[in-house]
A and B are shown apart, each in its own frame.
Chain A
């Protein structure tokens, strides 16, 4: 095990997969010469050359489509969006081409592509650059959606995403690039898609958290443990396919659920998880499923308001107390 940042863990995964498979290549804005807006692609141009690590113009729809075409003819593109806010421009290629090609070609064209980049809130980049749009992509059959919360998960899941034969949306959290953690050095280390991880075991309430909310949930669980409330923290890691079984098993044990997410509540991933729990574990609930979500407004620029718009430890603690009738 080596301790490294999530940025370096992602870089390592890219490096290992570029070396392992000649059909893998990387493209996006500033990924080559500038070594990535967030330095995730540092050193890759030097190591793999300009045919495998390609700078694109500021044309998201164009290079996303280029990626889909490359995937159709047998390559395994990794398309970096400088942030997922810019993927909004490429949604026609992602949703109408990448997600549906296998189905509409009667199984003739698989699309082994990864669209990756940072998402969620950052620090004072305001409304248009602080969005959590995982629920958009998770909505469409044909796409897989992955959101790692630790450096090890980031590395293991990105490797699986690159090796997967379906289009994968891989959303990294912008605030978490510098977060450090232990990462296995084994080149064959990977984490299968669609498998949740119990980040902390507990008996009184389940907190389902993803991405930025995982460390928040773990901190809340630590605080609640001091008051004798034992929380189980589950990180689905893959939003789609969702490992609902692990969540339901936990609910059957704890009878209470809080879903923590930085995205907006309405029609979000938390709403979907809540609906699944109602359908599968209704008889085990002791309280209505409670969501702690980002505030239902465009992200404010002002620092004080921005802080209020993203869920924090205190809010998660209050929610757990509410579902536990404490």
Chain B
């Protein structure tokens, strides 16, 4: 059972995609595994034939427990079967302990760990035997292996590493994998389908692929450190404070209606607009697009916005990367796609972690206003209430306007009251007149 999410301790076999006797090749999907977070595809890391399935659909196994045997078609697997049956009764680290230490000498510990783990047990008859625990060496510790030059080339060419399967030992991504990805790249564009056929929209040929935002760490000042220390003693590890603002939404609502008339396919929501406006405001107030680290304040370059999505299994917050750099249409299609996959439990870990700011919207449940709990290490979260007609005073007259109340929870270690208030003022200003979006 491989580790498929950062916090996974055991996995439930949701579905076998191969049956006993099927040929499998490296990288081919073998099974679907339910982890604590999502349903993940498990890929075969060796070629051969799926000789024996050890875990049935619906059964669970702790990390490291063999779940199947892949081998040569005519290989004798009886001794391996006996061993795996014994291993299954033992704790997860069993298979690793059983390895011989014959390879080790005083100086020659240069073999990658993965190879040692895959070394055949003493009694095994033939090579090319691998079980589930050994078949996922690179993922077991949650790391993606990549050679330095491959990492560099990927960064320069904007290749998304998460989408690659490395061809080196232990799944290491090497130079030729990046070269292959670079020649194959023009085929994929996440936002292309929804924009196709709408002749008025500028084609997004240069659609960049955004990973988690870049950032710089600024050392904590003594004052900042003292503020942090004192506030934590008062209100738990993350000292929250809350700022509320009521926003006139007439223009935003009009704009949304107008856009949706132009592009009926898109179904732009008010929440998509809120994401875009928040991202724009964050870029103007970098101190809010920040997180408290042990010794530094981390300031992010892009606004990676976490969007809370309620699912049957609970709350999850998929992340819209670099929302500041994306168009409203891109955001709308991306949010819809992420939310669909969140509900289907198909999100990958890097798609729901590492936001720089989050938005939680309970407007659809008729909530007027509420406070949200910060998702550490993010510095703030915006709780959005329902947009509803309210009586407001404008120029000493009472009018009925569409308004919406937002409450920002701030981590006081990073964000002081005035800084949060300035951000919220900018947010309100843009939200009340979204034309600002097109001026910056």
**A interface with B by C-beta (< 8 Å):** 255, 265-266, 282-288, 296, 325
Binds A, one of B148-156, B251-259, B285-293: B148-156
Tell me whether B148 and A265 are in contact (CB under 8 A): no
Tell me whether A255 and B149 are in contact (CB under 8 A): yes
Shortest Cβ distance from B347 into chain A, in angstroms? 32
Of the candidates B108, B147, B151, which one forms a contact with A287 in the assembled complex, judged by CB atoms under 8 Å apart? B147
Q: Which residues of B contact A266 (CB under 8 A)?
A: 107
**Identity of the chain A residue whose Cβ is nearest the Cβ of B168 in the assembled complex:** A325
Tell me whether B176 and A285 are in contact (CB under 8 A): no
**Identity of the chain B residue whose Cβ is nearest the Cβ of A281 in the assembled complex:** B148
Chain B window 192-223, contacts with chain A (Cβ cutoff 8 Å), 1 for yes, 0 for no = 00000000000000000000000000000000
Tell me whether A325 and B174 are in contact (CB under 8 A): yes
Contact sample, A vs B, 25 pairs, CB 8 Å cutoff: A255-B147, A266-B107, A282-B148, A283-B148, A283-B152, A284-B148, A284-B149, A284-B152, A285-B147, A285-B148, A285-B149, A286-B147, A286-B148, A286-B149, A286-B150, A286-B174, A287-B147, A287-B168, A288-B110, A296-B107, A296-B108, A325-B167, A325-B168, A325-B169, A325-B176
- Tell me if B175 counts as interface (CB < 8 A to partner A): yes
CA distance A208 to B47 in the complex (A): 35
Tell me whether B175 and A255 are in contact (CB under 8 A): yes
CB within 8 Å of A: which of B129-157? 147-152
Shortest Cβ distance from A83 into chain B, in angstroms? 26
CA distance A190 to B149 in the complex (A): 38
Tell me whether B107 and A286 are in contact (CB under 8 A): no
CA distance A18 to B429 in the complex (A): 91
Q: Which residues of B contact A282 (CB under 8 A)?
A: 148
Q: Which residues of A contact B150 (CB under 8 A)?
A: 286
Q: Which residues of A contact B149 (CB under 8 A)?
A: 255, 283-286
CA distance A34 to B167 in the complex (A): 61
Q: Which residues of A contact B107 (CB under 8 A)?
A: 265-266, 296
Chain B window 98-111, contacts with chain A (Cβ cutoff 8 Å), 1 for yes, 0 for no = 00000001011010
Of the candidates B105, B108, B110, B175, which one forms a contact with A286 in the assembled complex, judged by CB atoms under 8 Å apart? B175
Shortest Cβ distance from B152 into chain A, in angstroms? 5
Chain B window 165-187, contacts with chain A (Cβ cutoff 8 Å), 1 for yes, 0 for no = 00111000011100000000000
**B interface with A by C-beta (< 8 Å):** 105, 107-108, 110, 147-152, 167-169, 174-176
CA distance A288 to B169 in the complex (A): 11
Shortest Cβ distance from A202 into chain B, in angstroms? 16
Q: Which residues of B contact A325 (CB under 8 A)?
A: 167-169, 174, 176
CA distance A325 to B168 in the complex (A): 6
CA distance A287 to B167 in the complex (A): 12
CA distance A29 to B115 in the complex (A): 52
Tell me whether B152 and A287 are in contact (CB under 8 A): no
**Identity of the chain B residue whose Cβ is nearest the Cβ of A322 in the assembled complex:** B169
Shortest Cβ distance from A172 into chain B, in angstroms? 28
CA distance A283 to B175 in the complex (A): 12
Q: Which residues of A contact B167 (CB under 8 A)?
A: 325
Q: Which residues of A contact B151 (CB under 8 A)?
A: 283
Q: Which residues of B contact A265 (CB under 8 A)?
A: 107
**Identity of the chain A residue whose Cβ is nearest the Cβ of B167 in the assembled complex:** A325
Shortest Cβ distance from B318 into chain A, in angstroms? 33
CA distance A283 to B156 in the complex (A): 12
Q: A265-B107, A284-B152, A286-B175 are in contact. List 11 more A-B contacts (CB 8 A).
A: A266-B107, A282-B148, A283-B151, A286-B147, A286-B148, A286-B149, A286-B150, A287-B168, A287-B174, A296-B107, A325-B174
Shortest Cβ distance from A63 into chain B, in angstroms? 36
Q: Which residues of B contact A283 (CB under 8 A)?
A: 148-149, 151-152
CA distance A295 to B169 in the complex (A): 25
CA distance A325 to B108 in the complex (A): 20
**Identity of the chain A residue whose Cβ is nearest the Cβ of B150 in the assembled complex:** A286
CA distance A282 to B152 in the complex (A): 10
Q: Which residues of B contact A287 (CB under 8 A)?
A: 147, 168, 174
Shortest Cβ distance from B172 into chain A, in angstroms? 8
Most central of B110, B150, B152, B174 by chain A CB within 10 Å? B174
Q: Which residues of B contact A285 (CB under 8 A)?
A: 147-149
Shortest Cβ distance from A249 into chain B, in angstroms? 15
CA distance A325 to B149 in the complex (A): 14
**Identity of the chain B residue whose Cβ is nearest the Cβ of A291 in the assembled complex:** B110
List of 6 A-B pairs having minimum Cβ-Cβ separation, nearest first? A286-B175, A286-B147, A286-B149, A255-B149, A285-B148, A283-B148
Shortest Cβ distance from A53 into chain B, in angstroms? 44
Q: Which residues of A contact B175 (CB under 8 A)?
A: 255, 286
Shortest Cβ distance from A179 into chain B, in angstroms? 32
Q: Which residues of B contact A286 (CB under 8 A)?
A: 147-150, 174-175
CA distance A8 to B167 in the complex (A): 51
Q: Which residues of A contact B148 (CB under 8 A)?
A: 282-286
CA distance A109 to B113 in the complex (A): 53
Shortest Cβ distance from B338 into chain A, in angstroms? 33
Q: Which residues of A contact B105 (CB under 8 A)?
A: 296
CA distance A225 to B188 in the complex (A): 36
CA distance A164 to B415 in the complex (A): 66
Most central of A282, A284, A286, A325 by chain B CB within 10 Å? A286
Shortest Cβ distance from A204 into chain B, in angstroms? 10
Shortest Cβ distance from B382 into chain A, in angstroms? 39
CA distance A288 to B107 in the complex (A): 17
CA distance A265 to B176 in the complex (A): 30
